[in-house]
A = this chain, B = another copy of it.
Amino acid sequence: MIHSLTLSDVLADHARSRPQVTAVVDGDVRLTYPELDARVTRLADALAGRGVAAGDRVMWLGQNSYAVLELLLACSRLGAVLCPANWRQSRDELRFVLSDLAPRVVVWEPSDQAAELADEATWVRAGGAYEELVAGGSPREFPQVDDAEPVLALYTAAFAGRPCAALLSSAALVAHSATLLVVRQMEPGFTFLNDGPLFHVGTMMFCLATLQIGGTNVFTPAFDAEEVCRLVDAERVTQAFLFGPMIDAVAAANAGGKYDLSSLRFVAHSAEWDDMITVDDSPWCRSKMGGYGQTEVGGMLTFLGLAEGGAGFAGRPSPLVQVRILDPEGVEVPAGEVGEICARGKTLFSGYFARPDLNEVKSRYGWHHTGDLGRREPDGTITFIGPRLRMIKSGAENVYPAEVERALKTHPAVADAAVIGVPDPSWHQAVKAVVVLRPDAAASAEDLVAHVRGELAAYKRPREVVFADAIPKQGFTPDYDALDAAYGGGNYPGA
């Protein structure tokens, strides 16, 4: 256990190494690291008093709050798991999550959806009741916890119609924080404004990296452009959770220069924005932000900042993982070919809570299967193609609809496209494309097939193209079941 470093351990060290540093700001709440450490100890003791033991789950059901970080750290101290649940969920979705995760304690901000699900015995109201809970705990020592144990549960991708809780260990979260420290070049003094939802890994990962480097986490319930401006100015914030339209909104809210946003070291965006902030030159900010990621890898798997000028628009793997592009039999595909993005390494999750069969499938051949398709470019960088929702088997060949759809969409006349497999007497399945043309644009089926042949191997070209007014969707992706029903799809491998 001499190698173990839990989130609780990180906090315990900061309490000693950074006694004067502000760890947390949230409205009137301001806590130094020793104060946060002392509160987390009391909270852990109080949770233990409510029956929370190692391996048990605790749920936060509310908007962003310092309490999310305290609960996470207290769970780490106990070897328990915190789930910050999506407070925007419907009552039905929430009922599922509660029965799935079976939390021992729920700390909640009252809401219409949650009200009738609340159980007086195990639910604690955020605010006063939560503060009473903390105050009721006693300072004491806790046994050491193995950092390979899960500490955070985040609900993610729906498999079989319902979301699953991805379990992340302290070891994975600490490792992921280290990669952000590297790529974002975070230093002591880093101040992060948690204005995106903490039930999502995109905000949580920067909250935890800020903890790791001993910086300051500022919390605000949810994104509000004016409030972001006020907090950046007041707390000298280094970075907030912002992208595209959020940046525009913040720039607009500060149009008169009412607030001083110069402490913000962030990506260039518009002339107006760049004048307000300090354009940062770390790899994370220097070119385009981001890369490819998902909750199951702790956040980011690849970074654009590690592949400046690279061909692949997902960048290169983080320094603490390996990535392989594998075919369905677990064999690496050559550069230039599409396969599933698979990974191993320090930042990976510990499987989904209570999904042994799914976990076995997702980790087959000793690699985490992201469920997404990608390709190595000749320079070794990675391109993300799209989700591996379906695979078509035509002859002996595997054809991923997402790859063919991508090729179709590069044709100037194509507004949208979806690809299915239809039964074929000779080839088992044949590729069929459903295409929506742009208004006033024209292209024949032959034009589109020829276009795909110019982009992909011949066997991937559609044998048939039909035109439609729209593609049925599930969220952002085609609704393949509806497409199969409408256009004669079937004979899928394994079906």
Residues in chain A within 8 A of chain B (CB atoms): 1-5, 9-10, 12-13, 16-20, 144, 148, 171-172, 174-175, 177-179, 181-182, 185-188, 212-214, 283, 306-308, 316-317, 319-324, 335, 344-346, 348, 363, 366-368, 376, 378-382
List the 4 shortest-distance A-B pairs measured between CB atoms, nearest first: A17-B380, A13-B322, A181-B182, A178-B178
Chain B residue with Cβ nearest A144:
B366
By a CB distance below 8 angstroms, the chain B residues around A4 are 344
How far in angstroms is the closest Cβ of chain B from A450? 32
Chain B residue with Cβ nearest A381:
B17
* Contact A17–B185 (Cβ < 8 Å): no
Bound-complex Cα distance A449 to B213 (A): 42
By a CB distance below 8 angstroms, the chain B residues around A172 are 3
Bound-complex Cα distance A346 to B20 (A): 26
* Contact A380–B322 (Cβ < 8 Å): no
By a CB distance below 8 angstroms, the chain B residues around A323 are 13, 16-17
> Which single member of B10, B16, B344 contacts A3 (CB below 8 Å)?
B344
By a CB distance below 8 angstroms, the chain B residues around A212 are 319
> Which single member of B188, B214, B283 contacts A187 (CB below 8 Å)?
B283
Q: How many copies does the complex hold?
A: 2
By a CB distance below 8 angstroms, the chain B residues around A186 are 182
Bound-complex Cα distance A1 to B316 (A): 22
With A172-B3, A344-B3, A367-B2 known to touch, is A319 a contact of B380 (CB < 8 Å)?
no
Bound-complex Cα distance A175 to B380 (A): 24
* Contact B5–A322 (Cβ < 8 Å): yes
By a CB distance below 8 angstroms, the chain B residues around A174 are 320, 346
* Contact A12–B322 (Cβ < 8 Å): yes
* Contact A320–B379 (Cβ < 8 Å): no
How far in angstroms is the closest Cβ of chain B from A19? 5
With A317-B13, A319-B181, A366-B144 known to touch, is A344 a contact of B5 (CB < 8 Å)?
yes
By a CB distance below 8 angstroms, the chain B residues around A346 are 3, 5, 174
Chain B residue with Cβ nearest A14:
B380
* Contact B319–A213 (Cβ < 8 Å): yes
How far in angstroms is the closest Cβ of chain B from A68? 21
Bound-complex Cα distance A10 to B345 (A): 10
Chain B residue with Cβ nearest A4:
B344
By a CB distance below 8 angstroms, the chain B residues around A12 are 322
Q: List 25 A-B contacts (CB under 8 A).
A: A1-B366, A2-B344, A2-B348, A2-B366, A2-B367, A3-B148, A3-B171, A3-B172, A3-B346, A3-B348, A5-B320, A5-B344, A9-B345, A13-B317, A13-B321, A16-B335, A18-B380, A19-B380, A20-B379, A178-B182, A178-B320, A187-B283, A188-B316, A214-B306, A214-B316
How far in angstroms is the closest Cβ of chain B from A481? 31
From A9, A175, A179, A366, residue with most partner B Cβ within 10 Å: A175
Bound-complex Cα distance A65 to B348 (A): 35
By a CB distance below 8 angstroms, the chain B residues around A148 are 3
Chain B residue with Cβ nearest A283:
B187
Chain B residue with Cβ nearest A286:
B187
